[in-house]
Structure 1
Amino acid sequence: MTGNLLGIHAGVWVGDWADDSARYAIESSAQAGYDLIEIPAVDPRTTDLALTVRLLEQTGLDAVVSLALDASTDINTEDAEVSAHGERLLSRTVDFARDIGARYIGGVTYSAMVKYTHPATEASRQNSLAVLRRIADKARASGITIGVEYVNRYESNLLNTAAQTVRFIEDLDAENVLLHLDTFHANSEELSLAQAVRDAGALLGYIHASESHRGHLGTGILDFPGLFRQLALSGYTGPITFESFSSAIHPRDTADTIGIWRDPWTDPALAARNAYAFLRAQLDAAALAHAA
């Protein structure tokens, strides 16, 4: 269990990926002890990719990329035009990941991250699968894995549990697609975090560690000890990434989109340090218990 890379979402540090923001986020993540940084997808045509690559090389950090589709780029739809917008965005994200040397793209890659007013249809699900098969095929050519992050019922009508996501990935039938578990969302929909890990099984490939209130890890109601014990029992060796957001960092329009109505913290460096210490302690405790 000690081999897990510990990561941090760039959104803890910055609300964009301008040159100064990229430098600050990458250097601060390395200084806080993290192994990788999760970078939100940006348009590779308008970003200084060479700077990002250089900063990653200088700090020794690995990088992964994430995104969430929205209503204008939804592929969980029967609207061909909207789906095409989503497929183009996913394709550009593969280009961005490839060009900065990232080998993983995760997030809400299969659906808009919005409050739907109706259930998913079989046709919208099949469209999502068809688009992701093509994107996974493109990603495979660059050695990139796609993560499917299920979210709560208020942010997708398609995938809300690990069991649903396993069935979706099995239907997708692409060898480079894995399940992305976010503890915040799992807390809303699963019987327990440990059960979510059991349901995910061998498809579990990436974890967002996010507290029940999206604030400092270990200060909410999530059963992190139970989660980490199950991860140790399951032999999970993938990344575990701290994810939390504050309007102290993000502009108001972004904060409104992701529902930051109250700030869980105002000091990103403190949030990052506390999260790293918490995750390391959980890993160590679970490893000792598993060895006993």
Structure 2
Amino acid sequence: MKTAITLSRVEEAASGPFVFHQELPDGFARAAHHGYDSVELFLPGPTAVSASEIKTLQEEHGLGIAAVGTGAGLVRHGLSLTDPDAGIRQAALQFIQEMVELGGSLKAPAILGSMQGKWGGTIRREQALDWLAEALATIGDTASKHGVPFIYEPLNRYETNLLNQVGQAAEWITELGLQNIVILADMFHMNIEETDMARAIQNGGDLIGHVHFADSNRHAMGFGHSQPLPVIEALKAIGYNGYLSAEIFPLPDADQAAAQTIQTIHTLLS
């Protein structure tokens, strides 16, 4: 398994669970200093930073790009794939597609988290899931042209009411025959929604394509009450060789969070 750490440049997410919020050159340098393999980027949009600039920083610091997030589409522009307004749904799809193109140019997948939205009011759950499935089918096809998957993240009940558990998402993706879609197993969300996180990983099986490595309180692992070893053992059992990515609060500060995370991962994998 490989290590990654989050780097956000979205002003609206300044208080969000991302370790580094500095300018990209500083963020890349800090990630490399702590010994991470890659960074996971949370950018304001697909044109905020050029792919060439990112590639230059990669080469300078010897880092990969684990994934690119799409959440700025919601926090900055109010877009979601299940909005009652068809125009907003189309704008959301376009935003994500453009982020997929950016990620693809870096050989990195994009992640769908908060932009999946939720159902309620005049929108039934079945309708929202139909819209989500249609969008995922389109986005998965776009990502496949770059040779990368598209990552879908089940979120906890306080952030969405669509799909909250890893096994539930895996079953839904399989039943619909969605292609080139993998699941992000986020240990913070799983701590809320799963009765057994290791079993949830097993339920996800080979659809698990990315892991957010966070403790129960969304701090660095070891600063809460999660037990990560059974999760690591379950990931090994399903043959997972992707990223353990720190999407966590920068507490007590960014460097301590970064150091704690990578030390814990190295201990667990040794």
User: Normalized against structure 2, the TM-score is what?
Assistant: 0.87
Alignment partner, residue 155 of structure 1: 159
Structure 1 residues 79 and 171, CA, compared in 2 at 3 Å: closer, same or farther? farther
Counterpart Cα distance in 2 of 1:42 and 1:172:
31
Tell me the equivalent position of 2:107. Answer: 102
Gaps spanning 5+ residues in structure 1: where? Answer: 16-20, 247-264, 285-292
Q: Encode CA deviations 1:9-59: one digit per residue, 9 max, x unaligned.
A: 1131116xxxxx110111111111111100014323332432211011222
Cα shift at 1:266: 3.9
Give, in whole Å, the separation in 2 of the partners of 1:103 and 1:171: 26
Q: Secondary structure at the match of 1:269?
A: helix
Gap change, CA 1:47 and 1:232, over 3 Å in 2: closer
Question: What per-residue deviation string (whole Å, max 9, x for no partner) do you get for residues 151-205 of structure 1?
Answer: 1001011110012211232245343211110000001011111111111011111
Do structure 1's residue 66 and structure 2's residue 69 form an aligned pair? yes
Equivalent AA in structure 2 for residue 13 of structure 1: F
1:57 and 2:59 are equivalent in the alignment: yes
1:93 aligns with 99
Paired residues for 1:280-291 under 5 Å: 280-284=266-270
Say if 2:151 and 2:184, in contact at 8 Å, map to a contact too.
yes
Identity of aligned residues (%): 24
1:76 to 61, 79, 82: 82
The normalised TM-score by structure 1 is: 0.81
Tell which deviates more after alignment, 228-237 or 188-197.
228-237
Aligned-residue CA RMSD (Å): 2.0
Structure 1 stretch 268-277 or stretch 213-222: which is displaced more? 213-222
**Equivalent residues of 2:222, 2:260 under 8 A apart:** no
Query: Where has structure 1 moved over 3 Å in runs of 4 or more?
Result: 116-120
Query: What is the CA–CA distance in structure 1 between the aligned matches of 2:156 and 2:46, rounded to whole Å?
Result: 30
How far apart in 2 are the matches of 1:97 and 1:235? 24
Structure 2 residue aligned with 1:138: 142
What residue number does 2:116 align with? 111
AA at the equivalent of 1:272: A
In structure 2, give the amino acid aligned to 1:169: I
Note if contact 2:194-2:200 (Cα within 8 Å) is conserved in structure 1.
yes
Q: Are 1:77 and 1:123, in contact at CA under 8 Å, matched by a contact in 2?
A: no
Structure 1 CA distance for aligned equivalents of residues 170 and 189 of structure 2: 16
- Preserved CA contact (<8 Å) 2:4 2:245: yes
SS of 2:110 mapped into structure 1: strand
State the match for 1:46 in structure 2.
Answer: 48
Verify: 1:24 aligned to 2:10, yes or no.
Answer: no
Q: What residue number does 2:15 align with? A: none
Aligned positions of 1:8-23 closer than 5 A: 8-10=5-7, 11-14=18-21, 21-23=23-25
C-alpha deviation, 1:120, in angstroms: 5.2
Residue 102 of structure 1 deviates from its aligned partner by: 3.3
Mapped to 2, the partners of 1:217 and 1:143 lie a distance apart of: 32
